[in-house]
Structure 1
């Protein structure tokens, strides 16, 4: 009878560094200074999801700088979807326990604006002249918006 020794294979999969959030999820902040090719990203992503699933994590957030946009397709293939986009990055999300609905909050979709109608004792209305934009030089009621900080 032939005998053989069972070999132990030690496989070490590289996973993404992640910050744990307060809701049993993780946040991955990809760095534009750390270029990554599609195959390595896809392999690490699959290994990371498996690891986070074993650790009981629920949500995964990946902040992907615009310089790494070539990696979006790999994330989408693994089930990630777009949460929101800004000028310099795309935020992707993934819900690990597929059997229950996700609890990701919706992204803000509104801007705060204000307009005023000011009337003095003499019945005069306050108007202002635009200094910039499409309406430069136009007299109008005072208005404004608050930009996100």
Structure 2
């Protein structure tokens, strides 16, 4: 009888070990199924690894503008060259057909500014923003991506 108890103890120990291994395995599987984040698709992983720079649109270089500033003496003027970054080639083609309207819009904005407004760094940023907004009203929302001053002289 002593041998039967000894053999029964071994069986019980084997069942306990198998039960513990199964519980641990089930716990690990549950953790990975419930709490792990799914792997992103391969194309998303590549995009994260290499941040994409925004695509630069075509540029339209405008002729220089010379305007009188909104100065009480009327003796101050601004000479500026502007390049417009546009959305795509289709917009560039349309803009080339509407140069007189574009020039008029820019002249109206520039001539409404005072010397102090155009000389201040934040004034130039506001001027750039205002020109872009007015041109987007003229050509359509989002068609002008950027306004760049390639020459800026106040006298």
TM-score by length of 2: 0.21
> Higher helix fraction: Structure 1 or Structure 2?
2
Q: Which structure's relative contact order is higher, taking Cα pairs within 8 Å and 6+ residues apart?
A: 2
Looking at secondary structure, tell me which structure has more strand per residue: 1
